[in-house]
Chains A and B, each alone.
Chain A
């Protein structure tokens, strides 16, 4: 994950630079009456300095070994680990969450959470679809009763709004 660390530190450095430029455009005030920009300017410098430090910390050992960040470095324990772990599941869960958020308003809570749970149960290792969907429907029903009916959380109901009201 050495390359990942370099990229991440570089990304934070870029964020720090943008943050600092925006802070410099805010009213700074005086030291005796600080404006809204003074504290962010200090934090921006701190962010850039630490991100630069992290970046150098990651790059210098690679250069000393005669490798660039883009060179094919031997896999470290970190970089090998995700292959052993099921990294695919992480992306599937993230995609599922994004799908749920996009579907929540138009389709509504009940259907989208039921579909979410059915797919999540499958991703987490239960592969019998019929029982998986049944379990998802039961959990979705319980969550609807407890959150929407009991705790009065105004979840969007989407296409089922007229029916449920």
Chain B
């Protein structure tokens, strides 16, 4: 199936009433959680993961794509109107967006953010439509060495890009990999770290870990925050249209942000957040009006486009290689794994309905989201008034029932509670959760690839370097790890001499 044939087939799948409904639900939930501070797209997807067990996998994937894109749209609303970022990727929008609102240009900022997000989302989806099938075809040539190299380098890059302490990130990777070895080993059926508990034989399930680390810990952290009064700024429909000058100033930043976002999305790490930072700093450097910090529309248009485009980019490695580069993509991958589908290069040929249906649904979802975030912006903004004393218990209820519903196992609730506490402690101690979760997901695949590579090469460890693709990927990983350390060392040396 070629690209256009695939997309037409995808639209025929995405436009069925059920899939349209799931796309709509995803967009609504995504917009709401994007607006609500404290509950991000990752936590929401983690807590809804168990519910997708009862759905068709395509519908589950469509729901999650809607949530992820919707959160990026919704996050800008509260950033602009209230000076409160709804989720991490909208933090940058607060700087210029709220200043615009204070100058009476809230409507224009919201419109530019929504339309910029739509343009960026569409550009990134075109990129995803072209790049994912090409990469999937290329990946058919990948052997175990290449898969191990991609996963290893992905983890290394992630630990570098999360911006935290490198050693702490590495320790989280090691912990995640260690957790991934719990359970029955697949080749010889050997029980590892199960402590004679039959329920641990199938390993530590991703679901309670993700729900605990992201869902429960988010509730625990939010519980500590002091409740504040929210003052909403009113925006009338006719105020939403930006002036011609504002349009002109926004156009290029939107296009620039779209490309920045898409390419940052391809890299392991919290791509929506990083892309907004990169886009903002680029726009600031190119600023000709001297308005940055006082409400520059470029500072809203670029970052808002970038965070949406990053979502499309992040789907590429998952859909093409079956390797998630962000925790959110790991949760999306879990939707497939719950249904016994292994994502990878064969997904496009073996499950064309799912592959193309999800991509096509993203185009439709993007269109729905523009409607939610322009004419209905006032309605959605009011959601921020939902009291925490109702919202948080409901989130906990969904976690407690959801995690039990998959395996009907009390052990899963205990695991979720334990990982919730661990997630809370890790957040408070400034550890990044993303490397742990990704390592847990990638660990079993890495072990399988390592063992297969060793058996094929008859124990020759140099196989990882001598095979051209894996050698190149590993070299890139070594450079990413060592170059910043070397640069810092040389700088210190120079400053000491001077």
A interface residues (Cβ-Cβ under 8 A, vs B):
1, 4-5, 8-9, 12, 15-16, 19, 22, 26-27, 30-36, 38-40, 43-44, 46-47, 50-51, 53-54, 57, 78, 82, 85-87, 89-90, 93-94, 97-98, 100-101, 104-105, 109, 113, 116-117, 120-121, 123-126, 135-136, 139, 143, 147, 151, 153-155
Contact = CB atoms under 8 A, between A and B. Distances in A.
A19 B443 CA distance: 16
A121 B224 CA distance: 14
Given A82-B224, A126-B387, A154-B408, A117 B397 contact: yes
A82 B420 CA distance: 17
7 contacts: A34-B451, A43-B181, A46-B173, A47-B174, A116-B397, A121-B393, A125-B389
B424 A51 contact: no
B454 A120 contact: no
Interface in B354-404: 387-390, 392-394, 396-397, 400-401, 404
B168 interface: yes
B225 A34 contact: no
B8 interface: no
B428 A4 contact: yes
A67 B400 CA distance: 43
Given A4-B429, A120-B393, A151-B405, 14 more contacts: A31-B461, A34-B451, A40-B178, A43-B174, A44-B178, A46-B177, A47-B178, A50-B174, A51-B174, A94-B421, A104-B413, A120-B396, A125-B387, A125-B389
B393 A30 contact: no
A143 B396 contact: no
Given A22-B193, A93-B223, A124-B223, A78 B428 contact: yes
A113 B397 contact: yes
Given A31-B459, A100-B400, A117-B393, A125 B174 contact: no
Contact of B394 (A33, A82, A86, A139): A139
B187 interface: yes
Contacts of B461: 31
B393 A90 contact: no
B450 A101 contact: no
B234 interface: no
A67 to B, nearest CB: 19
Contacts of B390: 121, 126, 135
B25 interface: no
B227 interface: yes
Contacts of A94: 220, 417, 420-421
A39 B174 CA distance: 12
Interface string B404-444: 11001010011001001100110011100000000000010
Contacts of A87: 224
Given A123-B223, A154-B408, A36 B185 contact: yes
Interface in B445-470: 447, 450-451, 454-455, 458-459, 461
Contacts of B425: 4, 8
Nearest to A104: B410
A76 to B, nearest CB: 11
Contact of B224 (A33, A35, A90): A90
Given A86-B223, A113-B397, A120-B392, A98 B451 contact: no
A26 B396 contact: no
A34 B400 contact: no
Nearest to B446: A39
A27 B190 contact: yes
B54 interface: yes
Contact of B401 (A38, A47, A78, A143): A143
A78 B430 CA distance: 9
A12 B167 CA distance: 13
Contacts of A9: 171
Contacts of A50: 167, 170-171, 173-174
Given A8-B429, A94-B421, A153-B401, A36 B396 contact: no
B219 interface: yes
B167 A54 contact: yes
B5 interface: no
A77 to B, nearest CB: 11
B454 A34 contact: yes
Contacts of A85: 224-226
Nearest to B227: A125
B388 A43 contact: no
A19 B193 contact: yes
B223 A101 contact: no
Contacts of B455: 32-34
B174 A46 contact: yes
Contacts of A47: 171, 174-175, 177-178
A33 B452 CA distance: 9
B493 interface: no
A27 B138 CA distance: 37
B405 A113 contact: no
A36 B393 contact: no
Given A86-B224, A89-B223, A93-B396, A1 B459 contact: no
A121 B454 CA distance: 55
Contacts of B1: none
Interface centre among B165, B171, B224, B404 (most CB of A within 10 A): B171
Contacts of A32: 454-455, 458-459
B220 A90 contact: yes
A108 to B, nearest CB: 13
A90 B404 contact: no
A36 B389 CA distance: 48
B188 interface: yes
Contacts of B224: 82, 85-87, 89-90
Interface centre among A22, A47, A98, A117 (most CB of B within 10 A): A47
